[in-house]
Amino acid sequence: MYAYHHGKESFEVVERDDGYFDISGGAAAYFAPFPKWARFEREGMRFVRGRVLDIGCGAGRVALHLQRKGHEVVGIDISPMAVKTARLRGVHDARVLSITEVSPRLGRFDTLVMYGNNFGLLGGPKRARWLLPRFHRITNPGARIVAVSNDPYKTTVREHKEYQSYNRRRGRMPGELRIRVRFLKYVTPWFDYLIVSRKEMETILKGTGWHVTQYLSSEGSTYAAIIGREE
């Protein structure tokens, strides 16, 4: 993101723990202006209210849009260079912070945004059920999570289907990924990333203080969920 912001060619290589490699579509998606967002992402912004926590803010496309709409936004990302890029682009409050470090020290929020498939940052069902009650404690009554995920079963790629079977054999959810990201000579540590179907999302949310109130679908496998806070 920082390289792209300075006019350099930029793309990321995603490596999965079964040896599968793929190349992202490039950094441009992290900088896309609102009119170029997917329709379901634009629709999701209608459900944002009040003070916002942008989880995995990246280069700040969501935070910048919501700032312009008059919202107070706190953007967090585990990547120092992503946060630096977001600040350079005008995000007022961007912080280097992991999703596991979210706490009442950030204050209270009315909306949590998890765009860019960032429901996946919950990592897995066990960590999700630990994190979601924490989100409940930092939000106000009537709060919402606007999250994007990707249905792992809507794939025709043989290697993805094989990985789902591999996950089942080792007691993991089919869409529970173990990945790392490479760029030039840089490489992240391995981390868990979760993609889920709608039914799986509802199962994970059960008993955490949150429930899906509405889905916003795309033509493909990606979708947004509007998740309501239970009082």
Q: What is the pLDDT of residues 118-162, one digit of tens each?
A: 999 999 999 999 999 999 999 999 999 999 999 999 999 999 999
Q: Quick one: pLDDT band at residue 33, thresholds 50, 70, 90?
A: very high
Q: What is the pLDDT of residues 71-123, one digit of tens each?
A: 999 999 999 999 999 999 999 999 999 999 999 999 999 999 999 999 999 99
- Mean pLDDT, residues 179-208 taken together: 97
Structure tokens at 16: 């999965």
Domain residues for the domain of 113 are: 38-180+189-229
Q: What is the 3-state secondary structure (H, E, C) of 83-149?
A: HHHHHHCCCCCEEECCHHHCCHHHCCEEEEEECCCHHHHHCCHHHHHHHHHHHHHCEEEEEEEEEEE
Q: What pLDDT was estimated at residue 24?
A: 85
Q: How far apart are CA 148 and CA 127, in angstroms?
A: 18
Q: What pLDDT was estimated at residue 172?
A: 97
- Mean pLDDT, residues 25-31 taken together: 89
Instruction: Check whether 217 has a pLDDT greater than 90.
Output: no
Is 2 a member of any domain?
Answer: no
Instruction: Check whether 168 has a pLDDT greater than 90.
Output: yes
Instruction: Check whether 219 has a pLDDT greater than 80.
Output: no
Q: What pLDDT was estimated at residue 218?
A: 80
Is 88 a member of any domain?
Answer: yes
Q: What is the CATH number of the domain that holds 140?
A: 3.40.50.150
Q: How many domains does the chain have?
A: 1
Q: What pLDDT was estimated at residue 9?
A: 85
Is 5 a member of any domain?
Answer: no
Residue that is written with structure tokens 């990707």 in the block: 150
Q: How far apart are CA 171 and CA 145, in angstroms?
A: 28
What percent of the chain shows pLDDT beyond 90? 95
Q: How far apart are CA 18 and CA 26, in angstroms?
A: 23
Is 6 a member of any domain?
Answer: no
Structure tokens at 124: 């897995």
Q: How far apart are CA 203 and CA 210, in angstroms?
A: 11
